[in-house]
Amino acid sequence: MTQPTPSAADAALIAALTAEYAAVYAYGSIGVHLPAAGQRAARAAEAAHRSRRDALVLQLSNAGGSVPADRAGYALPFPVIDQASAVRLAIEVEERTGAFWRAALPVTTGGERSRALAALTDCALRATRWRRTAGVTPLTVPFPGRPG
């Protein structure tokens, strides 16, 4: 039996779910390279991504669509070998995940859109805090989540 084609909103949320899976995986490599305060921030960020992941799994399951499974591993964009590369990855994870939530905005409405905006904003805030940790300036970007 073929699965029904997901709506544009479901497709965007499925894409966001795969990004959240990858974010949770990436944070497993980040915290171990950081001092205590950074480890706490990484744990909080990982918990936030787990929470979004779980909410998406529940929402997509309740809607009756197919929910992609988590994978055993995800390719990281570069090796994480020390504090600097760990923080750089944290910034990139938040920027990339935020882009998926931004892409969900045009295809959602009401509460779904509000949740997507909250997720985009949370990613942008964590990226800002990680830039501060890394000593990157400016701390902010003009259009969080926008490609390019």
Partner 1 sequence: MALGGTAAAVTGCGLFGREDAPDPAADPLAPLLAGALELAARHRIAVDGDPTLSDRLSPIAEAHRAHAAELARLTGATPSPTPPTPTGGVPTGDATAVLTTLREAERQGREAADQACAQAPAERAALLGSIAAARATHVEALK
Name the one range near partner 1 by CB under 8 A: 18-26, 50-58, 74-82, 116-124: 116-124
Find the DSSP H helices in the chain. Answer: 8-30, 36-62, 83-104, 110-134
- Determine, following the binding rule CB under 8 A, whether residue 117 of this chain makes contact with partner 1: yes
Among the listed residues 7, 63, 82, 146, the single contact to partner 1 using CB under 8 A:
146
Among the listed residues 121, 134, 135, 136, the single contact to partner 1 using CB under 8 A:
121
- Determine, following the binding rule CB under 8 A, whether residue 2 of this chain makes contact with partner 1: no
Dist CA 140 CA 128 (whole Å): 6
Q: Which is nearer to partner 1, 60 or 120 (CB)?
A: 120
The answer to whether residues 40 and 27 touch, using CB atoms and an 8 Å cutoff, is no
DSSP 30: H
The answer to whether residues 101 and 145 touch, using CB atoms and an 8 Å cutoff, is yes
Dist CA 137 CA 1 (whole Å): 53
Task: Please list every residue from 84 through 103 that binds partner 1, using CB under 8 A.
Answer: 98, 102-103
Dist CA 40 CA 72 (whole Å): 24
- Determine, following the binding rule CB under 8 A, whether residue 48 of this chain makes contact with partner 1: no
- Determine, following the binding rule CB under 8 A, whether residue 39 of this chain makes contact with partner 1: no
Dist CA 99 CA 125 (whole Å): 13
Q: How far is the CB of 24 from partner 1 (least distance, A)?
A: 21
Task: Please list every residue from 126 through 145 that binds partner 1, using CB under 8 A.
Answer: 127-129, 132, 137-145
The answer to whether residues 63 and 10 touch, using CB atoms and an 8 Å cutoff, is yes
Binding site for partner 1 (CB under 8 A): 98, 102-103, 105-107, 113-114, 116-117, 120-121, 123-125, 127-129, 132, 137-146
